[in-house]
Amino acid sequence: MDPRQFLEVILKPNVAEALEKFKDLRSNFNAVATADAMAAHIFYWAKKREVLEVAHIKDDLNYRLELRRLNAHMALLFDVAKALKHVELERGNPMVKAASEVDVRSFGYGEGGYGVGPYGGGPQVSVFIEGRKIQLASLFHGAIEVYELILNRMESWLAASDTAK
């Protein structure tokens, strides 16, 4: 499965389910895991096709580090995914140190991001960092946007390089 298929067939439906079931941990955890896995799908697909922007990157871990530097949503998403996988993070300086920081929390009217989560607030899955609640839904929106931009750029580069041959 190429990364465009993974995005359309796996990631977007998982995110859609998480956005629909905004207080369901299972669907939100699945969306986090697939959003994290998307980075590896893009990296190995691009590496195999010798896409220039990944030529200097050793593996998908380092590709995630590159994406972290470029986008704060991605950095937080990758930390959430790692915390959910490993339960507690003891190395480095992650924003999310434990899986327990991700839970269903109540949001008051206007407390969450505009256009993110249910209108008027209410309980929804969020991560608690630095004294504030951040809805996972906002991370999903940001991740899909970033991944689509990356794929569009890489696909355009590949099409142009095929034309030049």
pLDDT tens profile 109-146: 766 665 566 655 788 999 999 888 988 988 998 999 99
125 beta partners: 104
Count other C-beta atoms under 10 Å from residue 31's C-beta.
Answer: 28
pLDDT tens, position by position, 31-64: 999 999 999 999 999 999 888 888 899 999 999 9
> In the chain, what are the domain boundaries?
3-164
Residue 23, classified by CB atoms within 10 Å of its CB into exposed (0-12), middle (13-18) or buried (19+), is: middle
**Within the chain, how many helices (H) and strands (E) appear?**
6, 3
What's the pTM value of the predicted model, to 2 decimals?
0.89
